[in-house]
Structure 1
Amino acid sequence: MKQVNIGGVPEHFNLAWYLTLKDGEYKNEGINLRWHDYYGGTGAMCKALRNKDIDIAVILTEGIVKDIIAGNPSKIVQTFVQTPLIWGIHVAAKSNYKTINDLKGTKAAISRYGSGSHLMAYINAENNQWNLDNDLNFEVIKNLDGAVEGLTNEVADYFLWEKFTTKPLVDNGTFRSVGNCPSPWPCFVIAVREEFIENNETELKTILDIINNTTADFKDIPSIDKTIANRYEQKLEDVQEWLTLTEWSQEVIDKKTIENVQNKLLKLNIIPNKVDYNTLIHKL
């Protein structure tokens, strides 16, 4: 049995992986797929790919594009979630900040440099015509628990994280939402170490076939909204709203999208240069 390590955030987007693992679908094909939760998000997964701790990552598009350009020996093999990620912009419940513009020049909590929360702080700043050199400051807080502590203790002032994941913290009075910042591209892709692609293409195709078969009909799974609400401790109406906003993909990310991501990252000085489509993508 071939052991394969895969990483992702422990969020509702990845429930399809849990369901296919629970049903033993990979083991039936001779693959021992081991899932690893990465609470630190994209930056932590980029590091894990580089260190060969994982072979595959379900990861934010902008984060892995940046890291491949910075030397991560991996390739994007497929889009996983086609729709944008809706990043909620959060402050501590007792904070004096009421609007996004109140946050200009204050300190953003980020999980780590190169993470989605870091990169999207730049997108939010640009959307609001802030000065990217003077109006952005960062405090590394590692994960969502660190953000709770950091904002509550006023170590940082605001935090961008997926809206529905943080909604329970808004509901219970830990955070207050001051707005949203959707990513300007499909949010999650599947990235794989180049060495793994070269040596295990058959197994990789099998893994993708299994997960794609499930995501294609994900919304039709009986009581899937209740399953998500229970597993991720979210309100049923929030899950139902999220399901209407979310579309999975079984396709390779296209050239136009990759061009858009690179143009935006280059403009924000997050990447030093653009690279060819085939430097980032591997078509199986």
Structure 2
Amino acid sequence: MPLRVGYVREHFSSPLLQYAAHDQNKTFTLVECPGGTGQLTSRLTNDQIDVAIALTDALIAGIANGSKAYKLVGSYVSTPLNWAVITGAKSKYQSLAELEGTPIGISRVGSGSQTMAYVMARQQGWATDTLRFKVNNDIRGLIDSVNDGSTSAFMWEWFTTKPFVDAGEVRFIGSVPTPWPSWLIAAHTSHVRAPSNELRAFLDALSTYVVSFDAPNNRAGPNVTFIKETFGYREEDIGAWLETVRYPKNCSSIPEKVITDTLAALENAGVVNAPEGHQFDVKNFIDTTVVTLT
């Protein structure tokens, strides 16, 4: 059976989509998860996908908070994610400070949109136990919620939401970059569902596509064309995004510092708590038969 790979159809997924288009032996199938990382981890748990390319913080927080459904097996994007803070086109909110104590829209419990709301709260000096959330499932539900007033704002990747800003549907009132590299790869802990040899082969091949995507000659032209044709983004937005993003040279390795620094930031935000009297053991977060810590 081919690996079922869950992903979010955004510009970050371009190397993965290019790989899928050339996977002549059909070694994997793509499963789109528009609900983001919360939906990806839910589908891993519920045997709907075997592999997830998802946000670093939410994957690590899930394991830290007790999930046994998956382990980390690789890296995907090595630069931070810029989360926009978005409100309704005609809402009263003009700044992040005004959001304290208001209902924040999230895609799902445990999603990156929720984790980053905690990070924003800490940066703004709010007590995180005052945060209120409303689940809106996907980007369309989130946009509707800020415009009907059921939420004050939501957080989503900047360039993904910019077309909605350009169309006048929503407004940006700030941004919060992640204090960690943005995307990792996780797989189900069952080696029946996700055999180690198949995972290693998938990661090795994916590495060739991310390295190619990162090459200066492809950044200068072919990448722009691919993203424009696939996602319909404006060329100036594509160029601006490409200046901010980098991919790893080897998808089958994870810098240990990524896990420890993310855990420290998540602890500071109140999203996870280390075992009493102990530190987190990094090796509990990875599948040691697949990934190498560097």
| TM-score between the two structures when normalised by the length of structure 1 | 0.93
Q: 1:119 offset after TM fit, Å?
A: 0.4
- Counterpart residue identity of residue 39, structure 1: P
1:90 is aligned to 86
1:55 and 1:196 in contact (8 A); partners too = no
1:79 and 1:186 in contact (8 A); partners too = no
1:128 is aligned to 124
Q: 1:81 offset after TM fit, Å?
A: 0.2
Which stretch of the first structure deviates more once superposed, 193-202 or 5-14? 193-202
The RMSD of aligned alpha carbons is 1.6
Alignment of 1:270-281 (within 5 A): 270-273=271-274, 275-281=280-286
Find 2:196's aligned residue among 193, 198, 201.
201
2:51 is aligned to 56
Which stretch of the first structure deviates more once superposed, 139-148 or 196-205? 196-205
Find 1:67's aligned residue among 62, 71, 75.
62
Question: For 2:197 and 2:205, how far apart are their aligned partners in 1?
Answer: 13
Residue-pair matches, total: 278
CA shift digits 1:112-170 (9 cap, x unpaired): 11000000000011111112122x21111011010111111101010100000000000
SS in 2 for 1:122: helix
Shift in CA distance, 210/155, structure 1 to aligned 2, threshold 3 Å: same
Question: For 2:92 and 2:111, how far apart are their aligned partners in 1?
Answer: 27
| Residue 232, structure 1, aligned to residue 231, structure 2 | yes
Which stretch of the first structure deviates more once superposed, 116-125 or 222-231? 222-231
1:12 is aligned to 11
| Residue 137, structure 1, aligned to residue 138, structure 2 | no
Where does structure 2 lack aligned partners over 5 or more consecutive residues?
none
Shift in CA distance, 44/190, structure 1 to aligned 2, threshold 3 Å: same
SS in 1 for 2:232: coil
| TM-score between the two structures when normalised by the length of structure 2 | 0.90
Q: 1:253 offset after TM fit, Å?
A: 2.1
Question: For 2:194 and 2:33, how far apart are their aligned partners in 1?
Answer: 25
| Residue 113, structure 1, aligned to residue 109, structure 2 | yes
Which stretch of the first structure deviates more once superposed, 196-205 or 268-277? 196-205
- Counterpart residue identity of residue 189, structure 1: L
CA shift digits 1:86-132 (9 cap, x unpaired): 00110111111111112122111000110000000000111111121
Q: 1:181 offset after TM fit, Å?
A: 0.5
Where does structure 1 lack aligned partners over 5 or more consecutive residues?
none
1:254 is aligned to 255
- Counterpart residue identity of residue 112, structure 2: G
The percent identity for this pair of structures is 30
